Structure 1
Amino acid sequence: MAEQDYLIKVMSKQDLLQAIDWAAAEGWNPGLYDIESFHAADPNGFLVGYLGDEAIASISVVKYDDSYGFLGFYIVKPEYRGKGYGFKLWQAGLQYLEGCNVGLDGVVEQQGNYKQSGFKLAYGNIRFEGVGGGDEPEGIGLVDLSELPLSEVLDYDAAFFPTERKHFLRHWISQTGSRALGIKQAGKLVGYGVIRPCRNGFKIGPLFADDALLAEELFLALRAKATVKDNIYLDVPEVNLPGVALAEKYSMEPVFTTARMYTGDTPDISVDRTFGVTTFELG
């Protein structure tokens, strides 16, 4: 097929569903109901490459504002790899994010390519796998995030993300089948987390807390949403040693690693209080 038949365009929701299927085939275990949250973050931030009538490549380049964007979903269908289609989509994506500091969570086999495109390593992330179940802790000030003003969640979230992500979070904390909890002490939010259903089991993310004890209480409360028959997953920055210790305490095993990389300076976010990354796809 002639090269001019390769067309790059903004994804429709149907294209995005297909990209999520591709991510599942890569073993990335996306959430069952992620599409609304992802699309809300930036409807123009998902690109697809079509060869004739066939979608063959995807990338997400979510622009949170004019200063920060996040790249993910970089997938080319296996039979079309090594032909330059992915790189053309990559270039189009980075052009959309021109002027932004761009973050990504890169899989091991792509990290060298990302460095060649100007991305610099900030730290690694480890995906841990365990099982659900257990009892929800009592007397710690647990609240459903649905009962709080979104502004209160956004104020707390600001320490953990380079810029506001109101549109994304509004959907993320109310996903179908999910549970979103916070801990309030002395009238103040001191941690929050979300557990959501995925193709395989459940993922906890984010898991943000002011200290390791609060993170553990939140983890236990979220884990109780699943059963002992369910796998659960937690993506921990490897530089957060208490976070790694938390996963290991509950017999979770490392199954996957990524590298958090940025084109600009590493943002001043609270990695030491990030016990679980929100999502590798959108940061």
Structure 2
Amino acid sequence: MEARDLARVLDWAAEEGWNPGHGDAAAFHAADPGGFFLAEEDGAPVAAISVVNHGADFAFLGLYLCRPSHRGLGIGFDLWTHALARAGGRTVGLDGVPAQQENYARSGFVLAGGTARSGGQVQGAVHEAVRSARPAELPAFVAAEGMASGVVKPDYLGRWLRGDDTRVTLVAEAPLGFGFATVRQCREGAKIGPLLAETVETAEALIRHAATLYPGPVFLDVPERSAPLAELCGRLGLAEGFRTARMYRGRPVIQTADIFAVTSLELG
């Protein structure tokens, strides 16, 4: 895909209920421009997938979509096989719908947990100890997210964390504990991710502050390992929506942080 193709595929993802961000196409494409693929019929795109190489040892599979008119014809699987070859010997992760677990398992993927999307209206509150991140701080946040998630993803996060018209990265200062979060405007409301916080109080301040920036509900994708964050989402009135299965082909990646929301289900 070229960048304009990726924008179209994100429209498909919106139709499937994934609610992508308005600026996601540029941030995704910057992560690995050669990692996005289309299948075409008579010059028209009918299926898509991404296998983004985040480094020498790890890749992430996402945006696996086939137009309803072309499902069941083997097109998606051929595209899957073609794209996975690009990962080579890297470990490959994915966040897939649970109904497809058996299909992913046939390609060597093993279940390693799950992620739940929580969303709803949050009572926003500007916190005096929360501010926009400065450009010089972003490399440290890329490193911190990598330590928390288990994989450092400099090209992806380096672009993702930068502010623009559709997103801002927030950072907590004293007396709050360490924490940061990116909030981005989406087709519906806004998503917060990544979010990494030292304490639940810090996470709550970041979420409430983020809720003041864009109208509508807020959403977070919370891994099973992040039980304190899931409990906080419940207290804030966020309802659990759909779940995804985190699976790996190769060595599983270990998340180390307890208060952590993933950056995106599409690229990890």
TM above 0.5:
yes
Structure 2 partner of 1:213: 201
> How big is the shift at 1:159?
1.1
Pairing of 1:13-92 with structure 2 (within 5 A): 13-92=3-82
Counterpart AA for 1:234: L
Is 1:108 the counterpart of 2:98? The answer is yes
Looking at structure 1, the residues matched to 263 and 193 of structure 2 have their Cα atoms a distance apart, in angstroms, of 4
Q: In the alignment, does 2:261 pair up with 1:281?
A: no
Aligned to 1:203: 191
Question: Post-superposition shift, 1:149?
Answer: 3.3
- Equivalent residue for 1:127, pick from 94, 117, 125: 117
Matched, 1:182 2:167: no
Distance 1:189 1:67, change over 3 A: farther
Structure 1: which 4+ aligned runs deviate by more than 4 Å? none
Residue 250 of structure 1 is aligned with which of 224, 236, 240?
Answer: 236
Q: Distance in 1 between matches of 2:100 and 2:69?
A: 18
Report the Cα distance in structure 2 between the residues aligned to 1:240 and 1:12, rounded to whole angstroms: 35
Give the structure with higher Rg (CA): 1
Q: Identity of counterpart residues, as a percentage?
A: 37
**1:167 and 1:66 mapped to 2: Cα distance?**
13
**Structure 1, 149-158 or 39-48: larger mean CA deviation:** 149-158
Shift of 1:205: 0.8
Q: CA, structure 1 residues 148+185, in 2 after alignment: closer, same or farther (shift >3 Å)? A: farther
1:5 corresponds to which residue?
Answer: none
CA distance in 2, matches of 1:17, 1:226: 21
After TM superposition, give the deviation of residue 40 of structure 1 in Å: 0.4
CA-CA distance at 1:14 after TM superposition: 1.9
Secondary structure at the counterpart of residue 23 of structure 1: helix
* 1:246-278: CA deviation from partner (whole Å, max 9, x where unpaired): 11001111111101111123213324231x111
Q: 1:180 is aligned with what amino acid?
A: T
SS of the counterpart of 2:12? Answer: helix
SS at match of 1:158: helix
Query: Contact conserved, 1:175 with 1:196, CA < 8 A, in 2?
Result: no
Q: How many residues align?
A: 267
Query: Residue in 2 aligned with 1:163?
Result: 151
Q: Helix, strand or coil: the match of 1:260?
A: strand
Unpaired runs of at least 5, structure 2: none
Deviation at 1:146, TM superposition (A): 2.8
Equivalent residue number for residue 223 of structure 2 = 237
DSSP 3-state at the match of 1:148: helix
Report matched runs for 1:7-18 at 5 Å. Answer: 11-18=1-8
Q: Which residue of 1 aligns with 2:210?
A: 222
- Deviation, 1:120, is 1.1
Question: TM-score under structure 2 normalisation?
Answer: 0.93
SS at match of 2:195: strand
SS in 2 for 1:104: strand
What SS does the corresponding residue of 1:109 show, helix, strand or coil?
helix
Q: What is the identity, as a one-letter code, of the residue corresponding to 2:93?
A: G
C-alpha separation in 2, matches of 1:132 and 1:148: 30
C-alpha change, 1:147 and 1:43, in structure 2 (3 Å) is closer
TM-score (normalised: structure 1): 0.89
Is contact 2:50–2:62 with CA below 8 Å preserved after alignment?
yes
CA contact (8 A) 1:101 1:263 kept: yes
TM superposition shift of 1:176: 2.4
Separation in 2 of the partners of 1:271 and 1:112?
29
- Kindly indicate whether residue 264 of structure 2 is the aligned counterpart of residue 261 of structure 1: no
Structure 1 stretch displaced more, 241-250 or 170-179: 170-179
1:7 matched residue in structure 2: none
Q: Which residue identity lines up with residue 237 of structure 1 in the other structure?
A: P
1:137 pairs with 2:123 = no
Q: Any idea what SS the aligned residue of 1:272 has? A: coil
Report if aligned partners of 1:37, 1:172 keep a CA contact under 8 Å in 2.
yes
1:148 maps to which of 136, 142, 154: 136
Q: CA contact under 8 A between 2:193 and 2:264: conserved in structure 1? A: yes
The CA deviation at 1:113 is 0.8
